[in-house]
Structure 1
Amino acid sequence: MPTLTTARTAPWLVLGLLLGVLATAGAFLFDLVETSRRLPPDRQPRLVLGDRLLDLPPVLTGGDVLVPAALVEELGGRLVDQDGLAVISSPRGLLQADLQASAARLDLEELDIPVPDHRVHGRLYVSAALVERLFPVSIHREGPAVVVDSLAEPVLEAEVMEAAPVRAEPRRTAPIAADARPGDTVRVFAEEDGGWLRVRAGGVLGYMDKRQVRLLPPRAPQAAGESARVPRHDLPGWSLLKPVNLTWVQETRARSGEPEGSPPPGVNVLSPTWFEIEADGSVRSIANPAFVHWAHAHGRYVWALVSNGFDPDRTSRFLNDPAARLRAARQLVALAALYRLDGINLDFENMHLADRDAYAAFVEELAGLARAQGLVTSVDVTLYSSSPNWSLVYDRAALGRAADYVIVMAYDQHTGSSGPGSVSEVAWVEDGIRRMLEEVPAHKLVLGIPFYVRVWDVTQDGEGRPDVRSRAVSMGRGLALAREAGVEPVWDEEAGQLYAGWQQAPGSWRHVWLEDERSLALRLDVVRRYRLAGVASWRLGLEEPEAWSVIDRHLQAGGY
């Protein structure tokens, strides 16, 4: 009996499963197909505060705009409305209004703006002009909406490059809320995962594909002195950042979502490697807005790194084109506003010596624009050497005058061309810092320290000629290699590091100068001794856990 029942029902089970699979596949395919569905237009005007739709409808009477008095609480003020008297506290004073007499006073000054007892459904309404008098905002008609914009924040906009829909949600299958035409200007508020920008187009809030617009340089706030503009989160002003404890975060591809865990203890600046400049001044970006949110939530600043790709010819074309330099500077400031960055870290390396002055000019141009938006500008330089492309190309004095911080990458002392040696001998570091201080003041100078070591392999060919090769590994891996070989490292007084060397085979030797708490402490003593602005470490993920406590302990003991 069970067998006969199973045989009878099996085709129906198969059919059901098949239909389920088809439904799932159909839903998946539907999610990949753009929709032309449209939201119905608003029949009544809506009140929009920046990028938020408020549940406080405005009233249009002729040419006048009335807004709910409760709007003042959305702007940070307070409202008392009772017994024919309205009291509003605002950044510009205390307003007291006799609603029966339609008269008002701001502190001791009689206002020329009437405040009648105008109510809709029991809710007090006041003129937009009154709110503009009390708060640094602009209230205006924009398409079907009445828009309230802060005058104390920079304005980030984008130009529409092709006809494109403004969608209700950040996905292609979301219904269309509005249409944007080529040449239109839309207000930009943030970037979402998947390359979507949160925008306001003609008073309609929605999302646009960032590939369909071009970011414009931010417009300076009209009332910058009335409220804090930067940073846009609960962190102290960057000018109070003493000492700097920065670590670079190497990123080679675009990511989404927040990192797991918390930033390293003691670190106050994270510098992800997000931007690269092309010859025409355009900026390639792999920025992740979720990373910035995560960093700010943990009380850390974000100074995104900007690279030249270490391509000297491409960099030369860029630096010698004033229009390209201006384009890059404006786009970087716009990207900083979009992602709510706190600063920009310029890492231009391997440039032609002939471009020395042009690079200094670019840093000065960028720093000027950045400073106007409250952004920190830092620039990376090497310690002194005879290399035209890697050292002589930096006009360190000019860079120090232009930027807020100069970060000295005090590593790669020995490279493949120099033969085996330490990445960063402490004496070499201190000599370089003393020389740097002749060109850059100590309060702007940040010491770059390595979290990596180089493993040197030296072999001899049949004629006794050495073949030298090296590779960079993490602090922990260098020590592990020595232990695997059964070698106990010894202290190298000259380098200020532990050293391990051993023979791997006849004619083949391996050398490694190690980083540990003691060698890090010696470099941090240089920071304290010369009262430098702080440290920057290359890079997050190569360190041993105790490195952070060593850095934090020395910086806190420095008396900043």
Structure 2
Amino acid sequence: MRIHVVRPGDTLWGISQNYGADINQIVLVNQMEDPNRLVVGEALVIPEPGREYVVQSGDTLWNIAQRYGVPVQDLAEVNQISDPSLIFIGEMLILPYFPHSVQSGESLWGISQRYGVTMDRIIQVNSITNPSLLYVGQVLYIPVQSKPVKEFNAYITNMREEGRREVLALGRNFTYVSPFTYAIREDGSITDMQDGPVINAAIANDAGPLMVLTNFQGRSFDSDLAATVLRNPDLQENVISGVLEVMQSKGYEGLNIDFEYVYPEDRENYNDFLRRVVARLRPAGYSVSTALAPKIKADQVGLLYEAHDYPAHGRIVDFVVLMTYEWGWAGGRPWAIAPINKVREVLDYAVKVIPRDKILMGIPLYGRDWKIPWQEGTFARTVSPKEAVRLAANYGVNIQYDETYQSPYFNYVDENGQEHEVWFEDARSMQAKYDTIKDYRLRGGSYWVLGSPFPQNWPTLRNNFYIKK
């Protein structure tokens, strides 16, 4: 897979010729609504011929395997497809082997070094009896290079049919799927959700559903609600009992606790609550994780940060989700949602006090459209990456890219003369995030939030990692 950034004068036909790729495959994987309308600065995913294939209408996993002469079970395994019927139009599949035509002077050892696979694997796949005997023009099938194995979580807020379908289509990309949200009540009970269809869709893809528990009330996180429960051990036991009942009845595999805006004086109360949760859930076979605000130092001031004790969470729970997004928040000034330099500042602190293999780095799947000049008290509109590109196309503007933040952006003027500034994510910005996960040797990543169309992300993810199930 390649990432191509559209340049002035580019056409889709010219791009396809440059990469030797099929136009229809490019259109499908990028979900292009109008292939004749490209935006300068737009990042397109280009499937690599002979190595990757984008599912088309009428395809089955069996006929794709037949077309490329590979065992269907190998095709399913390398793409982590647990149910062969769950393949979807526009989904990019990695072929388990790709062809290599032997050139003059090549050896099996040299070919293995070139592609980063062992000689033994090449010998096995090609049933070679004499490794020293190769001839020019001989076609060898090279197994795909192994990728780092990482965990990925995805939060989802839509429990309706659209949410179920999205989890069915994307679930093979996730270790966990986390329906948002169950919430505590002042009497120690918890709210309910109609989450069964989403849970079943996750399980169909071997993605473990995580129950999300928050102090969410109305339309926001409630500090007083958290204080009521965190200051009363009896209420906490009621909460934990309710959580266990839900998890057992609905098939959840773990609990993700996302208490936000907790009063600083409840910091140790929160830690004690986590200890109680772990003491009851872990013996029952459930994992416990937390979501943490993006801190850059232990004594960071602010209601969002002070009660989140990084070292304690690192010791107590199985893993943490660092919410490394929302620098460009809806009520603030225009900015990248997750500027990579700021994300790395958080990680620089986090890895000093939390084991690296317990950290999932938060990753946004959305962008924002601000009216400018920005005014205090105004709110940006949330847009999907796909919608952002459509906006740039509709208003005839080029997409820029900030190298410091590793994020695309653009400005446009609407029909009323109002100027806008848009920051979003694309394949380049996601590649920067995946490189960061590798650089910091983290457990993996966590997406906020499904429901925002971003077709370029999923092939980019698969190009970087094998997802732990």
TM-score bracket relative to the smaller structure: 0.5 to 0.7
**Which digits, 9 at most, give the CA deviation of each residue in 1:233-259, with x for residues without a partner?**
xxxxxxxx9521111111468x89964
Whole-Å Cα distance in 2 between the matches of residues 245 and 372 of structure 1?
A: 24
Q: Give runs of aligned pairs for residues 368-383 of structure 1, distance below 5 A.
A: 368-383=279-294
How far 1:291 sits from its partner (Å)? 3.5
How far 1:468 sits from its partner (Å)? 4.8
CA RMSD of aligned residues (A): 2.8
Is the aligned partner of 1:431 residue 2:353?
no
Report the counterpart of residue 268 of structure 1 in structure 2.
Answer: 175
Identity fraction in percent: 24
For residue 190 of structure 2, the aligned residue among 283, 286, 294 is: 283
Give the AA of the match of 1:472.
T
**Which digits, 9 at most, give the CA deviation of each residue in 1:63-101, with x for residues without a partner?**
xxxxxxxxxxxxxxxxxxxxxxxxxxxxxxxxxxxxxxx
For residue 257 of structure 2, the aligned residue among 346, 362, 385 is: 346
Indicate if the aligned counterparts of 1:458 and 1:467 stay in contact, CA closer than 8 A.
no
Relative to its length, the structure with more strand (as a share) is 1
Whole-Å Cα distance in 2 between the matches of residues 290 and 421 of structure 1?
A: 36
**Which digits, 9 at most, give the CA deviation of each residue in 1:276-301, with x for residues without a partner?**
11122111111433443332233221
Indicate if the aligned counterparts of 1:479 and 1:514 stay in contact, CA closer than 8 A.
no
Q: Give runs of aligned pairs for residues 320-469 of structure 1, distance below 5 A.
A: 320-384=231-295, 386=300, 388-415=302-329, 418-459=332-373, 468-469=378-379
Indicate if the aligned counterparts of 1:342 and 1:376 stay in contact, CA closer than 8 A.
yes
Report the counterpart of residue 520 of structure 1 in structure 2.
Answer: 430
Q: TM-score, normalised by structure 1?
A: 0.52
How far 1:339 sits from its partner (Å)? 1.3
Q: Secondary structure at the match of 2:347?
A: helix
Whole-Å Cα distance in 1 between the matches of residues 464 and 344 of structure 2?
A: 17
The 1:370/1:466 distance shift into structure 2, 3 A limit, reads closer
For residue 409 of structure 2, the aligned residue among 499, 515, 526 is: 499
Indicate if the aligned counterparts of 2:159 and 2:195 stay in contact, CA closer than 8 A.
no
Whole-Å Cα distance in 2 between the matches of residues 351 and 242 of structure 1?
A: 34
Whole-Å Cα distance in 2 between the matches of residues 511 and 368 of structure 1?
A: 48
Indicate if the aligned counterparts of 2:264 and 2:303 stay in contact, CA closer than 8 A.
yes
Q: TM-score, normalised by structure 2?
A: 0.62
Q: Secondary structure at the match of 1:388?
A: coil
The 1:387/1:257 distance shift into structure 2, 3 A limit, reads closer
How far 1:271 sits from its partner (Å)? 0.8
How far 1:393 sits from its partner (Å)? 2.0
The 1:507/1:427 distance shift into structure 2, 3 A limit, reads same
Indicate if the aligned counterparts of 1:446 and 1:534 stay in contact, CA closer than 8 A.
yes
Q: Secondary structure at the match of 2:180?
A: strand
Whole-Å Cα distance in 2 between the matches of residues 370 and 305 of structure 1?
A: 14
Q: Secondary structure at the match of 1:401?
A: helix
Report the counterpart of residue 154 of structure 1 in structure 2.
Answer: none
For residue 308 of structure 1, the aligned residue among 212, 215, 240 is: 215
Give the AA of the match of 1:243.
K
Give the AA of the match of 2:286.
L
Report the counterpart of residue 384 of structure 2 in structure 1.
Answer: 474
Give the AA of the match of 1:426.
I
Indicate if the aligned counterparts of 1:411 and 1:450 stay in contact, CA closer than 8 A.
yes
Matched residues, number: 314
The 1:333/1:514 distance shift into structure 2, 3 A limit, reads same
The 1:412/1:256 distance shift into structure 2, 3 A limit, reads closer
Unmatched 5+ stretches in structure 2: 1-147
Is the aligned partner of 1:555 residue 2:465?
yes
Indicate if the aligned counterparts of 1:446 and 1:532 stay in contact, CA closer than 8 A.
yes
Indicate if the aligned counterparts of 1:420 and 1:511 stay in contact, CA closer than 8 A.
yes
Relative to its length, the structure with more helix (as a share) is 2
How far 1:499 sits from its partner (Å)? 1.5
For residue 489 of structure 1, the aligned residue among 399, 402, 405 is: 399
Bigger relative contact order (CA 8 A; separation at least 6): 2
How far 1:442 sits from its partner (Å)? 0.3
Indicate if the aligned counterparts of 1:400 and 1:440 stay in contact, CA closer than 8 A.
yes
Indicate if the aligned counterparts of 1:265 and 1:548 stay in contact, CA closer than 8 A.
no
Question: More displaced, 482-491 or 292-301?
Answer: 292-301
The 1:252/1:276 distance shift into structure 2, 3 A limit, reads farther
Whole-Å Cα distance in 2 between the matches of residues 526 and 550 of structure 1?
A: 14
How far 1:476 sits from its partner (Å)? 1.2
**Which digits, 9 at most, give the CA deviation of each residue in 1:424-480, with x for residues without a partner?**
1011111111111111110000011000111111248xxxx7775312221111222
Unmatched 5+ stretches in structure 1: 1-240
Q: Secondary structure at the match of 1:346?
A: strand
Report the counterpart of residue 510 of structure 1 in structure 2.
Answer: 420
Is the aligned partner of 1:529 residue 2:439?
yes
How far 1:330 sits from its partner (Å)? 1.9
Q: Secondary structure at the match of 2:353?
A: coil
